[in-house]
Amino acid sequence: MKAIMILFDTLNRHMLSPYGCTWTHTPNFGRLAERTVTFDRSYIGSMPCMPARREIHTGRYNFLHRSWGPLEPFDDSMPEILRRSGVYTHLVTDHLHYWEDGGATYHTRYQTFDLIRGNQGDPWKGEVRNPEIPDSLGSVKGDMNRNDWVNRKYIKEEEEFPQVKTFNSGLEFIETNAGEDSWFLQMETFDPHEPFYAPQKFRDLYPHEYEGKHFDRPNYGKVTETPEEVEHCRYEYAALLSLCDAYLGKVIDAMDRLDLWKDTMLIVNTDHGFLLSEHDYWGKSVPYYEEVAHTPLFIWDPRSGKRGERRGSLVQTIDLAPTLLDFFGVELPKDMLGKPLADTIAEDRPVREMALFGTHGGHVNITDGRYVYMRAPVGDNRPQYNYTLMPTRMRGFMALDELEGMELAPPFSFTKGLKTLKVDSNRKGRPFPFGTLLFDVESDPEQQQSIEDPQVEAKMVQEMVRLMQENDAPAEQYARLGLEDAAK
């Protein structure tokens, strides 16, 4: 048995043809839906990039205990477990966060890995002279953007794009090892994450008149651009999405040519979506509306052979690790709270009634697939702590003033008896000017109007507390959400 996971970053469900979009060019996602089971109620767990990847490894939520960071010494890592069980594991990726302090323990869990350089703000090419950066980028400027504009000088032809190199490397692995057994390949591209930089032929798929500023990387936050600029940026995203579609098609072609469908699981997924001016916001801003939290997911399982069908069961990122371990016949660790999806794929058997999602220090959200409840912090959103044995964040160590006040916390249920550092997160204030929200996404799929329904809210609060307790959430999580009484 073999398995391939194709992980895109910032892949918008509502921009794909299998999910009803009629204006983007995504024919290979259409082909994919014909060959797989398409999930209609797939949700994120923890935001954003590395918290989501920790869930892909561990099969449990990240956001209740810490923010962005590496795998912990006590974590169960799916690819490492497969490797110890005799399954060859290989990662090919252009996701730059893997080689930063906050992600440095992920890629080394695989038996081999190929790291493709140059995407977004990867500190790849060393040029002392500052590049020419369009003035229109304004506050987007910084080291990441400087690196991006240095990198673009070396990325002009299609074959030079990091995504293309990533897929070509993954296809090389597939071609080399198609006749072998017991391997797992994770092909992961940072695209279609911003900046939305694609080869010209894909931009030509979306002709439009535009004479405005250079605009392929929006600031996270409120939309301040003109309607013409907004439309242009959406087309730039679509062009990069079509590049993703084209290279997805090459993997489908390879599976056809090499007759891999008979014994190879295929998972195509993402970490989260992106607001492209919906709700008058850009990016991954909180609260996490459907455009961000409700994700595309496609799975082919050769054991059941189901294809061209849809599934309505509620699933999450935390289910991917158990699904892969189960596929290879490997026992699941007791701390892995996600569920194998074999029966869901085969017959739409539910694995949960409710799903939690969120980011450390932000809203805690819960959905049953119809209602989405977003519980906002109360007061000044305190207290907040990170629990870790790896005191780093995205691109550096936690600050010295944070670490000065750290103390040892008692073990959690999943830390294998180890105490962790309890580090004040230094985050105050409520996340953006939003309070608690409740949406019925069946009658209001675009979440235009929060509703008031005390009975539904009471049920959501009860289930939220239950799942937080199941995940051994620290006591202060209930306090900052005003849920102390409900948790008793």
How sure is the predictor about 428, in pLDDT bands with cuts at 50, 70 and 90? low
* Residue 423: pLDDT over 80: yes
Rg of the chain on CA atoms, in Å: 22
Provide the percentage of residues in the chain whose pLDDT is more than 70: 98
Q: What are phi and psi of 143, to 5 degrees?
A: -60, -45
pLDDT in tens, 81-132: 999 999 999 999 999 999 999 999 999 999 999 999 999 999 999 999 999 8
For residue 139, how many other CB atoms are within 10 A of its CB? 8
C-alpha closest to that of 192 among 181, 177, 202: 202
DSSP secondary structure string, 220-287? SEE--S-HHHHHHHHHHHHHHHHHHHHHHHHHHHHHHHTT-TTTEEEEEEES---EESGGGEEESPSS
pLDDT in tens, 235-268: 999 999 999 999 999 999 999 999 999 999 999 9
How sure is the predictor about 140, in pLDDT bands with cuts at 50, 70 and 90? low
- pLDDT of 432 reads 62
Expressed in percent and rounded to 5, the helix, strand and coil fractions of the chain are 35, 20, 45
Query: CA-CA distance, 57 to 437, in Å (whole number)?
Result: 31
Distance of CA 386 to the CA centre of its chain: 20
Structural contact between residues 72 and 412, judged by C-beta atoms closer than 8 angstroms = no
Check residue 25 and report its DSSP letter.
Answer: -
How sure is the predictor about 465, in pLDDT bands with cuts at 50, 70 and 90? very high
Query: CA-CA distance, 215 to 236, in Å (whole number)?
Result: 8
Hey, where are the domains in the chain?
A: 2-353, 357-480
Query: CA-CA distance, 211 to 402, in Å (whole number)?
Result: 47
- pLDDT of 119 reads 95
For the chain, counts of helices (H) and of strands (E): 13, 21
On whether the pTM is more than 0.85, the answer is: yes
C-alpha closest to that of 19 among 297, 385, 352: 297
How sure is the predictor about 427, in pLDDT bands with cuts at 50, 70 and 90? low
SS3 199: coil
- How crowded is the C-beta side of 267, counted as CA atoms within 13 Å? 26
- pLDDT of 138 reads 61
SS3 101: helix
- pLDDT of 250 reads 98
- pLDDT of 237 reads 98
Q: What are phi and psi of 449, to 5 degrees?
A: -140, 115
Check residue 110 and report its DSSP letter.
Answer: S
Average pLDDT of the residues of the chain: 95
pLDDT in tens, 174-223: 999 999 999 999 999 999 999 999 999 999 999 999 999 999 999 999 99
What tokens does 274 get?
Answer: 């992106």
**Superfamily (CATH) of domain 2-353:** Alkaline Phosphatase, subunit A (3.40.720.10)
User: What is the arithmetic mean of pLDDT over 49-76?
Assistant: 97
pLDDT in tens, 378-417: 888 889 999 999 999 999 999 998 899 999 999 999 999 9
- pLDDT of 380 reads 84
Q: Which stretch of 51-55, 142-146, 239-243, 397-401 has the lowest confidence by average pLDDT?
A: 142-146
Q: How far is CA 142 from CA 129, 131, 281, 424, in A?
A: 14, 12, 21, 27
